[in-house]
Structure 1
Amino acid sequence: MSATEQEPWQWDEATWRGHVGAVRAGRPLRPARWPGGARAAVALSFDSDHETIPLRNDETQPGKLSQGEYGSRTGVPRILRLLRDRSIPATFFMPAVSGLLHPEEVRAYVEDGHEVALHGWIHERNMQLAGADERELTFRAADTLETLSGKRPVGIRTPSWDFSDNTLAISRELGLLYDSSLMADDEPYEILDHGEPTGMVEIPVEWIRDDAPYFTMDRYTSSRPYTPPRGVLSLWRDEFDLALEEGGLFQLTMHPHVVGHRSRFAVLRELIDHMGQFDLWYATHEQLAEYVKRECGL
């Protein structure tokens, strides 16, 4: 029986250590101080998936697609107005197909000073793809976003945080500055590739700091919004408050077709108003990665 045919309890030590050590958190990248002496850093991000999730799932019915269309038609303008009013930069991770469907949206991000970053081609599931296919789609997405935004993306968030055995090698080949798909810390860190320092920054995410698990509704599955919006506000405020206490990073992942709805948007607005009481550094993920890399001598 080969190692791939064995049950995990049958693996020898070299096998399980090899799996664990393939992609690992390296040196912490928490600077001694934030720009301007800010008490903490805040990195807001939005995954502009729109119609790509139903398309990825081969769901082409108008009803499913309209849920995604809401994100671009209503959610994004609402979000951009709030960010503009509060003078907050953000990062928009965008599947290339979303960008092709809504090129005017990409231009609006750029015009308002936000970052446009990689989020796959059509929100594909990387862990179900052959390495060559994942590579081709990622490079194609980078080329497409560069054409649409006028700038080559420097960061990636894998669709659904689906980080395959090939993702890191592809990201390194692209020469990316950072990834934002892994979960080994609250603070930025350097990614290790089989123990080798990569010079690539990880800006970690977590399902706790993501709107989709709390608010997604699918009548054909068990996916239901069990947590009231104000309950999510309490969770996120606690996450921020402790980041502030520790002088660290508060990173948040949202989706225009989710948080853009009125009762959910009210939560985001109230959270931003709460954070506005403190001296903070608001940064795009690119700005954050560049700063911690420079300040920590990476």
Structure 2
Amino acid sequence: MTAMTARVPDPTEAPEQQPWQWSEQTWRGHVDRVRAGRSLTPASWPGGARVAVALSFDSDHETIPLREGETRPGKLSQGEYGARAGAPRVLRLLDRHGIPASFFMPAVSALLHPGEVRDYVAAGHEVAMHGWIHERNMLLDPADERELAFRAADTLERLSGTRPVGIRTPSWDFSDHTLAITRELGLVYDSSLMADDEPYELLADGEPTGIVEIPVEWIRDDAPYLMMERYGALRPYTPPRDVAGIWRDEFDAAYAEGGLFQLTMHPHIIGHRSRMAALAELLDHIAGHDGVWYATHADIAEYVLRESP
């Protein structure tokens, strides 16, 4: 694969314009390349449910250090924790509540832990795309991004027995070519963008694509609150129960509005004991409400497409 390198200016060319020098056609073109289209919020959720709850887990495991070329045991062991301890805890908690979830898994992670993929499927959960090795697709040539995406889809299909219907791009990176590749793959939904709280249809240069966006947000992600970098400034400053409190408020607002509560977590982050205790309290809070539809991201996408006019 070829990583993109900085472009060397050609002295014979006119200098590149600064954003404040762009024409309206230029800045509108950038804004309109991938845009939120019609809202796909249904009039009601299945069975007259008041709220839809879509829990998701990005099973990155060892792919985060591997992506950086980090091959020493320390960093790899942090990822291995997600497969060895975190994911089994997550599965037990979901089983206790009878909740289906979506597991977005880099293909290399799936190849390292094929039994985990089978466990997800056996428990009735969705296995969806999350890149090949958690690569940064905005640094890739289009051909490399496409090749990795198709290779990842083929790998997950072989290991899970089902062709994935959705994608969450690694680190929620979205290149100028990601949507075209997503369409070529024939995927039903993406879950990487942030234009709304509720599902919406993606537009490509103003044209409807038929692809559902199930939006994410850093507020509803465990990583910004709980990650730790030994040699950097990144520290888990927010106690787990305070994180769960933020998510509880997000759920309560979604419940009041009759909308979607979507949550993104990682087994190697949320899977630690004290953090699982906080997640368990959140799920107990949700379970105390009537009219909750627990669904995978695939379930959400298929339902809103069916119910939308």
| Global fold match (TM > 0.5) | yes
Q: Which residue does the alignment assign to 1:162?
A: 173
Q: 2:20 aligns with which of 9, 32, 47?
A: 9
1:133 has 2:144 as partner: yes
Letter in 2 for 1:51: E
Tell me how far apart the structure 2 counterparts of residues 270 and 5 of structure 1 sit (CA, whole Å).
53
Preserved contact between residue 190 and residue 198 of structure 1 (Cα < 8 Å) = yes
Q: 1:235 aligns with which of 237, 246, 267?
A: 246
The structure-2 alpha-carbon separation of the partners of 1:3 and 1:51, relative to structure 1 and needing over 3 Å to count, comes to farther
1:210 has 2:184 as partner: no
Quote the offset at 1:132 in angstroms: 0.3
Quote the offset at 1:12 in angstroms: 1.2
Deviations 1:111-159 (A, max 9, x none): 0000000000000001000000000000000000000000000000000
Q: Which residue does the alignment assign to 1:272?
A: 283
What is the 5 A alignment of 1:59-78? 59-78=70-89
Q: Which residue does the alignment assign to 1:88?
A: 99
Higher mean displacement: 223-232 or 3-12: 3-12
Q: Which residue does the alignment assign to 2:303?
A: 291
1:112 has 2:109 as partner: no
1:248 has 2:242 as partner: no
Letter in 2 for 1:291: Y
Quote the offset at 1:220 in angstroms: 1.2
- Give TM-score scaled by structure 1 length: 0.98
1:179 has 2:179 as partner: no
The structure-2 alpha-carbon separation of the partners of 1:215 and 1:3, relative to structure 1 and needing over 3 Å to count, comes to farther
Give the secondary structure class of the aligned counterpart of 1:222.
Answer: coil
Give the secondary structure class of the aligned counterpart of 2:215.
Answer: coil
Letter in 2 for 1:169: A
Tell me how far apart the structure 2 counterparts of residues 174 and 9 of structure 1 sit (CA, whole Å).
37
Preserved contact between residue 163 and residue 181 of structure 1 (Cα < 8 Å) = yes
Preserved contact between residue 158 and residue 181 of structure 1 (Cα < 8 Å) = yes
Tell me how far apart the structure 2 counterparts of residues 8 and 2 of structure 1 sit (CA, whole Å).
18
Q: 1:45 aligns with which of 56, 60, 74?
A: 56
- RMSD of aligned Cα (Å): 1.1
Deviations 1:149-196 (A, max 9, x none): 000000000000001000000000000000000000000000000000
Q: Percent identity over the alignment? A: 75
Letter in 2 for 1:31: P
Greater Cα radius of gyration, structure 1 or 2: 2
Tell me how far apart the structure 2 counterparts of residues 104 and 93 of structure 1 sit (CA, whole Å).
15
Tell me how far apart the structure 2 counterparts of residues 19 and 144 of structure 1 sit (CA, whole Å).
33
- Give TM-score scaled by structure 2 length: 0.95
Q: Which residue does the alignment assign to 2:4?
A: none
Deviations 1:41-66 (A, max 9, x none): 00000000000000001111100000
Report how many aligned residue pairs link the two structures.
Answer: 297
Give the secondary structure class of the aligned counterpart of 1:32.
Answer: coil
The structure-2 alpha-carbon separation of the partners of 1:4 and 1:15, relative to structure 1 and needing over 3 Å to count, comes to farther
Deviations 1:216-250 (A, max 9, x none): 00011111111111211111000000000000000
Quote the offset at 1:5 in angstroms: 2.0
Tell me how far apart the structure 2 counterparts of residues 164 and 94 of structure 1 sit (CA, whole Å).
19
Q: Which residue does the alignment assign to 1:35?
A: 46
The structure-2 alpha-carbon separation of the partners of 1:3 and 1:69, relative to structure 1 and needing over 3 Å to count, comes to farther
Give the secondary structure class of the aligned counterpart of 1:5.
Answer: coil
1:200 has 2:211 as partner: yes
Unpaired segments ≥5 residues, structure 1: none
1:260 has 2:263 as partner: no
Give the secondary structure class of the aligned counterpart of 1:69.
Answer: helix
Quote the offset at 1:2 in angstroms: 7.0
- Structure 1 moving runs of 4+ over 6 Å: 1-4
Unpaired segments ≥5 residues, structure 2: 1-11
Preserved contact between residue 3 and residue 11 of structure 1 (Cα < 8 Å) = no
Preserved contact between residue 115 and residue 286 of structure 1 (Cα < 8 Å) = yes
Tell me how far apart the structure 2 counterparts of residues 2 and 51 of structure 1 sit (CA, whole Å).
44
